[in-house]
């Protein structure tokens, strides 16, 4: 099976649960993993930015990858997030992290540096040449400060060992240009839960989701229904989740989804600074939504 077929559907950018003393809560992480598998998601992404990777130490990241691989035990594929704004350091990380059981590496475009399009191209080209696993691009300008243009994405789509993109620009015209001109074996998945249904209708291959941490069955069923071409049925699944998406991203990710997961008993509602839990009024809105 090709990578584009394997990663077609719903991937989940898994949160990192913490205990009250802000240590990684591996018991809760196992509970989350089992919930996702039981919910029918197609694969997971460990160490994505939703996992609060900027506040994890290297040793913790390596432990999380090993723990996740051990608990999943080959039941579904695992993508490992390795991104940053220091190309040379990332190349070292690609050989430092335990990637032998990973299916691919998801790498966010460099943040803060605000490189030119040529800088973004050369950054990913260097990673692709060094990586022992296929690279998935990740365009998320709302976090990085620089959009990766459709032209750059398409240029990178022909680079050996670059196999797809998580596209989270929110720009539908840009998404449609990529989908029109991509190679047939280049994976394009949504990184915007609220836009996923529309983007799947335009031809995307799936979603790497935040919301599916809290709604794995509903969200993955919506995505599969879209991929089967039944968009009217998918809309009936997605409509009740629209308010959840709004609440999850009203203040901060992953504070929003962690609030939902805490209410569902999957983890304790802790984040490491500078991340903080939702404000009290928004937390109450989450409780009210779930009570309905």
Active-site residue set: 138, 166
209 closest CA partner among 173, 224, 3? 224
CB 185 within 8 A of CB 209: no
Per DSSP, 53 falls in state G
Q: Are 16 and 271 in contact (CB under 8 A)?
A: no
Q: Where are the alpha helices (DSSP H) in the chain?
A: 3-6, 26-39, 58-72, 87-96, 117-130, 141-144, 150-156, 172-181, 196-201, 216-227, 231-238, 242-248, 255-263, 280-291
Would you say 12 and 51 are in contact if contact means Cβ atoms under 8 Å apart? Answer: no
Query: Taking each helix axis from N to C terminus, what angle separates 216-227 and 26-39, rounded to the nearest 10 degrees?
Result: 40
Total residues belonging to the chain: 292
The token pair that represents 35 in the structure block: 């919930």
d(CA 10, CA 291): 26
């Amino acid at each position: 099976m090709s990578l584009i077929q394997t990663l077609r559907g719903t991937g989940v950018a898994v949160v990192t649960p913490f205990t009250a003393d802000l240590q990684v809560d591996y018991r809760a992480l196992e509970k989350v993993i089992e919930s996702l598998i039981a919910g029918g998601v197609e694969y997971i992404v460990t160490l994505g930015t939703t996992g609060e990777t900027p506040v994890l130490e290297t040793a913790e990241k390596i432990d999380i990858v090993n723990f996740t691989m051990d608990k999943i035990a080959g039941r579904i594929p695992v993508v490992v997030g390795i991104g940053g704004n220091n190309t040379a350091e990332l190349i070292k990380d690609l050989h430092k992290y335990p990637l032998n059981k990973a299916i691919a590496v998801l790498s966010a475009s460099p943040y803060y540096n605000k490189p030119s399009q040529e800088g973004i191209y050369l950054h990913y080209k260097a990673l692709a040449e060094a990586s022992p696993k296929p690279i998935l691009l990740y365009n998320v300008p709302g976090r990085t400060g620089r959009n990766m243009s459709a032209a750059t994405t398409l240029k990178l789509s022909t680079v050996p060992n670059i196999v797809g993109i998580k596209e989270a620009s929110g720009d539908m015209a840009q998404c449609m240009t990529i989908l029109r001109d991509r190679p047939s074996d280049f994976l394009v998945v949504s990184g915007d839960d609220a836009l996923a249904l529309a983007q799947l209708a335009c031809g995307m291959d799936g979603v790497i989701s935040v919301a599916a941490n809290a709604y794995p069955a509903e969200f993955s069923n919506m995505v599969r229904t879209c991929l089967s071409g039944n968009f009217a049925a998918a809309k009936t699944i997605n409509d009740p989740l629209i308010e959840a998406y709004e609440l999850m991203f009203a203040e901060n990710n992953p504070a929003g989804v962690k609030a939902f997961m805490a209410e569902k008993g999957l983890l304790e509602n802790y984040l490491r600074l500078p991340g903080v839990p939702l404000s009290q009024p928004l937390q109450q809105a989450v409780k009210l939504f779930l009570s309905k």
